[in-house]
Amino acid sequence: MKRAAKDTLASARTISRRALILGGAQLTFMGGLGLRMRYLQVDQADQYLLLAEENRINLRLLAPARGLIYDRNGVVIADNEQIYRIVVVREDAGDLDETLAKISRLVALTADEIERARRELRRRSSFVPVTIADRLNWDEVAEVAVNAPALPGVTPEVGLSRYYPMGEDFAHLVGYVGAVSEKYLEQSGDDDPLLEIPKFQVGKRGAESELERTLRGSAGTRRIEVNAVGRVIRELDRIDGTAGAPVQMTVDSRLQNFVQARLAGQSAAAVVLDVETGDILAMGSAPSFDPNKFVRGISRADYRALLDNKFRPLPNKPAQGAYPPGSTYKMVTALAALEAGVVRPEETVYCPGFLEVGGRKFKCWKRGGHGNVNMEQSLKYSCDVYYYEMSLRVGIEKTSEMARRLGFGRRYDLPVSSISAGLTPTKDWKFARHGAEWLIGDSVNASIGQGYVLASPLQLAVMSARLATGRAITPRLIKSIGGVEQPVRDGEKLNINENMLRVVRKGMYAVSNETRGTAYRSRIIDEAMQMAGKTGTSQVSNALVNNKEVPWEQRDHALFVAFAPYDKPKYAVSVVVEHGGGGSTAAAPVARDIMLQAQYGQLPPLTAYPASQRSTIKARQDALQLRQIKPGSGRSRA
């Protein structure tokens, strides 16, 4: 059947339209392909020529800036400083021994350093840059740069290294960094590519170690063009890494400095807590050490001197140390007895100077005894017999349970190395540990913080804060990370009767502020800042000896705990002086000075001290003032 002319025309128009669309699409595709070919062959010709010659392009990791650490006021306590170094890429260096010999003629290198570099170059992949020398001055770097044509594979670089502007003050808290070692890689199991960068610094101790991932940041990369002999021609592109997050600690650098200065010359520890928040305002450990030496590579002689020092500079004594708390533990025994209902506050116990238990005499520190004493007086005079009697009435289980409520026997979650949990003994613990039954004499010893009981200075400060507030204060060391405020734990009520706490606080007030109180000589005259405290002396040797007549290592430890102001507590302090003798003579004066410094925020006026002691205090302040941080020192982020 013949198609109508009208239908034939419509069909032709349809076919023409389709042909145009198809042809346009083909033309567009061909045009795009042509433009792309032009872009690749003309515009990007140089780039792809370089990529084709793989031996001329190197990809290198860029170490990020390590996160800075600040004190609570924004003063930098862990900084980064710019350094110059020389790196070598083995695959570009040619004759390795010849290259090292050339470098050593330009830069002073010891035989040990050359051998160490040689081992590192052989251990690392051939394309990985290895640091041969760092912390060079500008003249040394310039000398290497001028001789670059004769040094294949050798490149001078600018980098960052950790620096601690406060030196010894924060050595135990902040810790230090050091170069990545094989031991570190094995123990950490960390597979971050950054660790392949020679002499990359990682935290080795303290907050630097505990917050390593936070402070490290992430790697950047750069592509460089090198010529046939391995000399860097140019940098093709760079992607900077992400710097580590800044960390702000709760510590006040000025107070920390004062604490370290006040403890100088002794083997001692001190902790200052904000009793409302639990913030650690200072944590001093003496003697200390310069962490910058570890960053730069401490010499064997310097390290041996630290190890051989009988005052033990390396351990973080406030958190790591575990000491018999001595008479500072008597508040624990007192509250346990009150809560158990085995004694009334006004009830007296007669102290003839000893208590005979099971045929053995347990002596009071005062040979002639204290006579009849109630609970407040037992704390004021630090009568041992009173607490021997309480131990017989209340038993070890309830005493240790009260100790745990007051902060003992716990390893606090803080970013410092090797935190001690101390020890609050029980009958089951002794049987499991020593395979022996608990004896009544064990309870007697524990009642005055001797025997198996152990506590750290940090735990003693926590106890003081909890006694002052009646709340389960938990210590906090990190204020913010990356600008984000870290949570403050609102301490729950201790569920200890407030009237019982008042009895103990009143006894502690008498210790420091009433005549015949064991710390009366260390009282604070300013009534608005008076402290309530407790002295302690813990025996190192079972023999009854005069501390002045035996070697230092055999003398008793001296302790003191306190909170202030008495009417409205704000600060809690603990001080332990290893082998210091008596708590009243060695530890209490130190704690008073620290407490006044915390309350005044500066060296306190002499009027805060008893008139008879002001000349001595003035001389001490003059000496301490030389050690204070100068105004404006340390770089602030504010």
Share of the chain above pLDDT 70, in %: 89
**635: in domain:** no
CATH code (residue 497): 3.40.710.10
172 and 239 together in one domain: yes
**379: in domain:** yes
110 and 224 together in one domain: yes
Q: Which of 120-129, 412-421, 532-541 has the lowest mean pLDDT?
A: 120-129
**222: in domain:** yes
369 and 410 together in one domain: yes
Which residues are CB-contacts of 361 (< 8 A; sequence separation ≥ 6)? 354, 355
259 and 340 together in one domain: yes
Q: Which of 225, 249, 273 is the last residue of a domain?
A: 249
Catalytic residue among 327, 378, 443, 584, which?
Answer: 327
Q: Which of 249, 266, 281 is the last residue of a domain?
A: 249
With cut-offs at 50, 70 and 90, classify the pLDDT of residue 241.
confident
Q: pLDDT at residue 48 above 70?
A: no
324 and 372 together in one domain: yes
Q: pLDDT at residue 412 above 90?
A: yes
pLDDT at 628: 45
67 and 112 together in one domain: yes
Average pLDDT, the chain: 88
98 and 115 together in one domain: yes
At 69-118, the pLDDT tens digits run: 999 999 999 999 988 888 887 777 777 778 888 888 888 877 777 777 77
438 and 455 together in one domain: yes
Region of residue 524 (left: phi > 0; alpha: psi -120 to 50; beta: else): beta
Omega prior to 569 cis, within 30 of 0: no
At 512-543, the pLDDT tens digits run: 999 999 999 999 999 999 999 999 999 887 65
**633: in domain:** no
Pick from 574, 531, 475, 559: nearest CA to 272: 574
Residue 327 among the catalytic residues? yes
156 and 270 together in one domain: no
Q: What is the pTM of this model?
A: 0.85
211 and 293 together in one domain: no
**136: in domain:** yes
At 162-212, the pLDDT tens digits run: 999 999 999 999 999 998 887 888 888 888 888 877 778 999 999 999 999
pLDDT at 47: 59
Owning domain of residue 181: 57-249
262 and 286 together in one domain: yes
CATH code (residue 152): 3.90.1310.10
Which residues are CB-contacts of 159 (< 8 A; sequence separation ≥ 6)? 63, 82, 83, 84, 85, 134
527 and 595 together in one domain: yes
pLDDT at 6: 57
Q: How many domains does the chain have?
A: 2
Q: Which of 346-355, 463-472, 539-548 has the lowest mean pLDDT?
A: 539-548
pLDDT at 269: 98
Q: pLDDT at residue 275 above 60?
A: yes
- What CA–CA distances, in Å, run from 154 to 142, 143, 349, 454, 619? 13, 12, 82, 57, 57
At 583-614, the pLDDT tens digits run: 999 999 999 999 999 999 999 999 999 999 99
